[in-house]
Structure 1
Amino acid sequence: MAISFSTVDDLLTVALSDGDVLGWDVEKLEIVQPFNLDPRKRRSGNVTHFTFSENGRRFACTRMADPLTAWCRDEQSNGYQVSLTLGSPLSVTGSPPREELLSISDNGTVVSGATSSGIRLTLPSDSKVAHVPVDLSVAEHRRDKLTALTVSSDGQMMAWARGDMVSVASVRDLNDSPSVFTPIFEAPCRTGQVNALQFDQGGKILACAGWKGVEILDFSNPSRLKQAVLGGAHTHSVTFSLNGHLACVDSSGVSVFSLIDRRLVYQKKIGDVSSVAFSLDSSILAVARQREVELWS
């Protein structure tokens, strides 16, 4: 299950593995925008991976028998329409991999990859199907496998991790010279193997969720990188609020930290959580657990 708040109407959008995408009004506690990826069928099913853009208006997903597809919410109908369909990526092992790592920006830039392939960068265009493939094939050693990736909400920056090694690059540099580009930052993560990456809304702060917590990389001053470690062990998901908080999901539950002074604001040990999302005013934290969503305020 994946969840996100829309920046347009603050609906909580919930995506389920059976292909249903539901828009929830959190004040009325009712579904106001039901949608299915394939309306011709009762259930589209077999959705293996799902990710929302920061503004909640776009999402990208993969299904067992289908290529990666990106969808965009229509301004007039408020329904979702296909904005991009990609073919199977190249593989370093010979067989086409299922892209299990996905990220999409507010403007439709898609970054995708799998442990047995490289990273694929797809830029938005007028034709909506043109894309720029970027092959950053990973090594065969387990510690060098691709474990996480993300793109900033403005589509300008992207980051990926191979084991504990984190790389950050400009999307423009990758687009101009995909074969000879140089990352603007590359270093081992202090919290071990990276399970998830997430930029803040401004694209200046990167959260790296790892086995020993979350490392915060602050690029607001390029000449003086700031670093900090937050959270608990086995952190696998992170999300930023617009008022300077970071929610971290680990094996025991959810922790919320203030990015200003790095202090723990709230913590609840509730076991397995798949994803979390802040509302626009940061007053509500939605927590997805299997097939249920809790609203915390």
Structure 2
Amino acid sequence: MLKNGKSFLLLLFAAACQSPQTTLSDRVCQLTQSTEQLTAEGVVLSTTRQQIAYNAQGLPVQYNHQLAGRDSSFVIEYKGTTAVRAVSVHNPANQLIFQYNASNQLAKVAYMLGNNERGGCSLEYEGGSLSRILEVWKPGTAGAPYQQRSFRFQPNEDQNVQIQRVTLTASNGSATEEEWQFSFDQTGRRSPYADVGPATLLAVLSLTNPADPYPCRFLQRTGLSGYQRYSFRSGQRILREAATVEPEFDAFQNPIKITTDLTGNTTGPRKLQQTFQYLCVE
């Protein structure tokens, strides 16, 4: 995390500690770090970390995502309270330029390397909720991981994403499709991402790590109780993985640890351990 992000976190932490009264209704807890570790029979298969730093207005100013050997880290720049671009920490020529529609919703993102537009994504909305992200790389772009990815989101009555469907078109034109179906905590307890800030912005930033298939995590306001993941082959939907979720909460009902038991038809039992840290203010 950037030095200014660290000093900001310490400043707000000190201010929060001086508050004599704290209630659930006036306390906002924004996710600052999440870690994930996937294991099978005690053997670590992968480790993931996400970090978010905020400014004094509670807007994310830095996003870092370490996954599958890739470190995607961006500083987010604003005009007022509107994000205008994100600049790579590792290569400042690598930038994301944000464009908005008439309703001030993020509508297009251009992937720039210097003055060259390498690709980008477009965003669609239904009823005010994000319904699709279409990410497309320009033909012949060096290092492009695929031709395009399409993420479709179907909300439930609480505006959580009930279904996420992902279609990936490889460089050779072949396409694969997967679908996640989510179930939610029946008591309505919050997701770790409930107060992250501009959820759509962070969902787009998560795409900068092409190994991440799950941008809708930032759109969930209610915690999960489980999910099923399907693939499609010859018109048939095939269950690939099922998950049950066991969360642990702090005194303010923030999820601080989530254990997910995974079963799959091509793998043995696996376990995903997640931990979460927050910046809380009243």
Task: Provide TM-score, normalisation by structure 2.
Answer: 0.43
Task: Decide which structure has greater helix share.
Answer: 2
The structure whose RCO (Cα within 8 Å, separation 6+) is larger is 2
- Whichever of the two has the greater Rg, that structure is 2
Task: Provide TM-score, normalisation by structure 1.
Answer: 0.42
